[in-house]
């Protein structure tokens, strides 16, 4: 619950203050919040962290999640409603383990939940499940999306009604194993001076259950117009893609992973290229940083997570939100949740 009863004079009831960021959910660990406005309410689709006892490693095996809950709020500042379990890994025929960051979309009268999980060969794929309600329960397709791979799907609806999926994550997210177009079970990274590994985008089919095209590279340019290099790890893409539209521009935001920022880049169309524009969210408590951005009732919000509720356990996270503000030139004001 957001603190709307604290004594801070700048804070009024039902208006969260950017400098008082409390976990939105306190009875479960939650992470990777994808927020959307459906049916006039804010719906949040997070990962559901729990302690499975798997030791920590560089592949992220300790992020061993097995289901998703869906949350909603009718107005900012209200307690989140937990709609319960929306999808379990045991109910997905092709998925074996590690349900990582999900996203959701609505088309016509159907809601779609997109999620990554490892298949029986320990390869991350992206699945889809459907429901007539934004809160689920969601019914999974028997197979993952054809040609899908890696993690962190984020689905963006363009102004013309087309839907695009952005996805990918390096290290444990396996994107570096797909550089040849086929899965190779060993990690291959570009040299520091070469362009960084690109996140992917694919337009979705009319039924929202397949890619309508082969995934394409998203190119993120440095301010000098050259692709960001693999060695620029304070700016290059790591995981957690998100796209939103603001005043005619497309904002591609993402985590820089081992440097722990949420960064963003701006482009003129859903495919990019996008030009690096700065940091939206500085590192939070815990190794991962993952966010979403949504407009609700005329204000913009950043949803993110940190490990404050678990006192620093990286795989036991809690979702939070803060108001996001733009400068007159369209750049985004940086949020530092560690000090606010």
Which residues are known to be catalytic? 32, 239
| 101 is an interface residue for ligand FUB by CB under 6 A | yes
The CB-of-70 to ligand FUB minimum distance in angstroms stands at 16
| 151 is an interface residue for ligand FUB by CB under 6 A | yes
The correct pick among 32, 69, 215, 301 for binding ligand FUB (CB under 6 A) is: 32
Place of tokens 């799907």: 153
Tokens of 188: 């291959």
| 70 is an interface residue for ligand FUB by CB under 6 A | no
- Which of 15, 74, 27, 122 shows the shortest CA–CA distance to 319? 27
The correct pick among 288, 292, 307, 318 for binding ligand FUB (CB under 6 A) is: 288
The correct pick among 239, 285, 303, 306 for binding ligand FUB (CB under 6 A) is: 239
Q: Within 155-174, which residues bind ligand FUB (CB under 6 A)?
A: 169
| 103 is an interface residue for ligand FUB by CB under 6 A | no
Q: Within 180-209, which residues bind ligand FUB (CB under 6 A)?
A: none
| 302 is an interface residue for ligand FUB by CB under 6 A | no
| 242 is an interface residue for ligand FUB by CB under 6 A | no
The correct pick among 43, 68, 100, 138 for binding ligand FUB (CB under 6 A) is: 100
Q: Quote the strand ranges of 108-173, DSSP E.
A: 110-118, 124-131, 139-140, 154-157, 163-167
The correct pick among 106, 125, 290, 320 for binding ligand FUB (CB under 6 A) is: 290
The CB-of-116 to ligand FUB minimum distance in angstroms stands at 7
The CB-of-296 to ligand FUB minimum distance in angstroms stands at 23
Rounded distance between C-alpha atoms, residue 203 and residue 162, angstroms:
7
Rounded distance between C-alpha atoms, residue 176 and residue 230, angstroms:
11
Q: Quote the strand ranges of the chain, DSSP E.
A: 29-38, 41-49, 67-73, 81-88, 103-107, 110-118, 124-131, 139-140, 154-157, 163-167, 200-203, 216-217, 220-221, 239-246, 249-255, 262-267, 274-281, 291-296, 299-306, 318-324
| 306 is an interface residue for ligand FUB by CB under 6 A | no
Q: Are 45 and 104 in contact (CB under 8 A)?
A: yes
Give the sign of the dihedral formed by CA 271, CA 277, CA 59, CA 190. positive
Residue 44 φ/ψ, nearest 5 degrees: -125, 130
- Residue with smaller CB distance to ligand FUB, 17 or 34: 34
The CB-of-169 to ligand FUB minimum distance in angstroms stands at 6
Applying CB under 6 A, the site for ligand FUB has a residue count of 13
Rounded distance between C-alpha atoms, residue 90 and residue 204, angstroms:
26
Tokens of 135: 């809160």
When CB distances to ligand FUB are compared, the closest residue is 100
> For the chain, how big is the Rg over CA atoms in Å?
19
Contacting residues toward ligand FUB, per CB under 6 A: 31-32, 47, 63, 100-101, 151-152, 169, 239-240, 288, 290
């Amino acid at each position: 619950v957001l603190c709307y009863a604290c004594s801070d004079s700048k804070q009024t009831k039902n208006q969260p203050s950017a400098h008082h960021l409390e976990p939105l959910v306190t009875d479960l660990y939650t992470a990777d919040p994808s927020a959307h406005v459906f049916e006039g309410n804010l719906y949040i689709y997070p990962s559901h962290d729990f302690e499975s006892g798997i030791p920590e490693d560089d592949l992220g095996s300790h992020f061993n999640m097995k289901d998703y809950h869906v949350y909603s709020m009718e107005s900012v500042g209200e307690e989140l409603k937990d709609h319960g379990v929306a999808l379990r890994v045991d109910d997905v025929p092709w998925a074996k383990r590690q349900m990582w960051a999900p996203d959701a979309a609505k088309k016509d009268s159907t809601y779609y939940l997109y999620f990554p999980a490892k298949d029986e060969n320990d390869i991350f794929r992206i699945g889809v499940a459907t429901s007539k309600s934004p809160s689920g329960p969601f019914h999974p397709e028997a197979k993952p999306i054809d040609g899908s791979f890696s993690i962190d799907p984020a689905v963006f609806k363009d102004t013309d009604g087309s839907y695009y999926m952005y996805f990918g994550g390096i290290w444990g997210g396996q994107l570096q194993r797909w550089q040849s177009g086929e899965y190779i079970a060993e990690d291959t990274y570009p040299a520091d001076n070469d362009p960084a590994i690109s996140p992917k985008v694919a337009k979705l089919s009319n039924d929202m259950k397949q890619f309508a095209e082969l995934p394409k590279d998203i190119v993120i340019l440095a301010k000098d117009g050259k692709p960001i290099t693999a060695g620029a790890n304070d700016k290059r893409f790591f995981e957690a893609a998100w796209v939103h539209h603001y005043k005619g521009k497309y904002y591609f935001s993402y985590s820089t992973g081992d440097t722990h920022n949420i960064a963003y880049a701006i482009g003129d169309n859903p495919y990019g290229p996008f030009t690096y524009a700065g940091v939206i969210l500085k590192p939070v408590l815990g190794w991962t940083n993952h966010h979403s951005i949504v407009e609700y009732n005329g204000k913009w919000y950043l949803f993110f997570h940190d490990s404050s509720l678990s006192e620093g356990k990286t795989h036991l996270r809690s979702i939070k939100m803060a108001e996001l503000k733009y400068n007159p030139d369209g750049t985004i004001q940086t949020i530092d949740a560690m000090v606010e």
